[in-house]
Structure 1
């Protein structure tokens, strides 16, 4: 009896051929999902970390270059283009307050101004409250100015320290994000703008937490919101306007900070 049991040959039934195809498909799908996740993670790291590091380094270098140049004998400051700030009466309507991205800027005159190369930085903006030191360049072009970590000077608005509205735009997230924390500014905080000719100190006066992207009133020579008229001014003066997108990581609205010229320190 034992010999008969020992002599039996086991029979193996192969059923994996049918189940193997769905398993391989499922495995391939899982690999694809993991690969896409890794690529997405790398893109997020690039946008939120690498672009900030690169832009901040470039902006810091530009600040050093400007200040080394200014240590020499003072020279004439480049004359600003004639614009609405030269008049106290009604003037041409300024360009809308765009998200700092090229697809939003549609006017030919604005597109032409955004071609300004990065070496055109001519001023240094400092905001002690948020620990910001950043170069200012003419134009609000994404590639030529804002993505370099610079702050952009709206074309057609006043020069630093001049009568009118010196209006600036900056990224709130990625590419140096210089204006990320301007929502923390409060009335009384000081902001300085230094150029070859001197330093101009402004004092924060009003903060408009949210307005529409097309609220052109905020960068008028006498700034006043067209969407929320209770925010803004009714008399000529020397104003500084900071604009950026809000809420963070979106471009649905604009955040606006206004300041008034407090004092000047001209270089002789």
Structure 2
């Protein structure tokens, strides 16, 4: 009788242990699938979508060859330095002239430019806004509202994912001084050269995207005079959004498409 009760207890314990093992394995499989989805599937989806958008923009621009080009917003900040001369000896229009041909701002979430980083083999569309769902999670690079437009006086500031969803800015920590970054629009190609970097700062450090970019957390990082700047921002360390990694560039040349 005692032996029978002991056998039943062992059987119940073994059943409970088996159930726990099944639940653990199931949870492990679910977690593994989530990891695969985040690290592989979202990257594949976003990269394919971003590549299609880049090709679509290029087709639109090529089809518009011969039409009157749209000038990019490119105001010189008060007291700012002159913009780099256009390649081929072209004349840069003055602030009033640029203002008179200013095109309407891109609509929210609209991809309107292509950013290329040859050193990293990065080619990604640039869209208006930095929302995750509408821009960044599509593998796009997001243009901070209120900052300068490509080639414009001030600071053309953008954000991109470092991990998952196409991760266009995953390796921007590998960029070195002088590396080229090209921003292509319907009417012009703007070439920036990497100049400085800030390896870690707070997500609330809005100074890095101001017209004259300078960190509010690390005041020695950044600039003190107006110019033609490009700012790349992304999360750091990898697989974390605790801090921000910043790379700055300066406009070196521009040419019409």
TM tier relative to shorter chain = 0.7 to 0.9
Q: CA deviation at 1:261?
A: 0.2
Aligned match of 1:195: 185
Q: CA deviation at 1:88?
A: 3.7
| Residues in 1 aligned to 2:68 and 2:239: alpha-carbon distance in whole angstroms | 41
Structure 1 or 2, whichever has the larger Rg, is 1
Aligned match of 1:61: 52
Give RMSD over aligned pairs.
2.0
- Distance change (3 Å), C-alpha of 1:249 and 1:86: same
Any unmatched runs of 5+ in structure 2?
80-104
Aligned match of 1:230: 220
Query: Match for 1:41 among 16, 22, 32?
Result: 32
Aligned match of 2:23: 32
Instruction: With the length of structure 1 as denominator, give the TM-score of the two structures.
Output: 0.80
Aligned match of 1:212: 202
1:10-46 CA-to-partner distances (Å, cap 9, x unmatched) read xxx6452231111111110110000000000000000
Aligned match of 2:93: none
Aligned match of 1:116: 108
| Residues in 2 aligned to 1:78 and 1:172: alpha-carbon distance in whole angstroms | 32
Query: Match for 1:132 among 83, 104, 122?
Result: 122
SS at match of 1:243: strand
Q: Are residue 171 (structure 1) and residue 188 (structure 2) matched?
A: no
Question: CA contact under 8 A between 2:72 and 2:187: conserved in structure 1?
Answer: no
What is the total number of aligned residue pairs between the two structures? 226
Q: CA deviation at 1:76?
A: 4.8
Matches within 5 A, 1:77-156: 77=70, 87-88=77-78, 116-117=108-109, 120-156=110-146
Q: Are residue 22 (structure 1) and residue 13 (structure 2) matched?
A: yes
Aligned match of 1:7: none
Instruction: With the length of structure 2 as denominator, give the TM-score of the two structures.
Output: 0.83
Aligned match of 1:94: none
Q: CA deviation at 1:230?
A: 1.1
SS at match of 2:17: helix
1:37-92 CA-to-partner distances (Å, cap 9, x unmatched) read 00000000000000000000000000000001111225554876x9xx77548xxx
- Distance change (3 Å), C-alpha of 1:254 and 1:136: same
1:89-118 CA-to-partner distances (Å, cap 9, x unmatched) read 8xxxxxxxxxxxxxxxxxxxxxxx9x934x
- Distance change (3 Å), C-alpha of 1:79 and 1:238: closer
| Residues in 2 aligned to 1:57 and 1:189: alpha-carbon distance in whole angstroms | 26
SS at match of 2:231: strand
SS at match of 1:122: strand
**Which runs of structure 1 show a deviation greater than 6 angstroms over 4 or more consecutive aligned residues?**
none
Aligned match of 2:149: 159
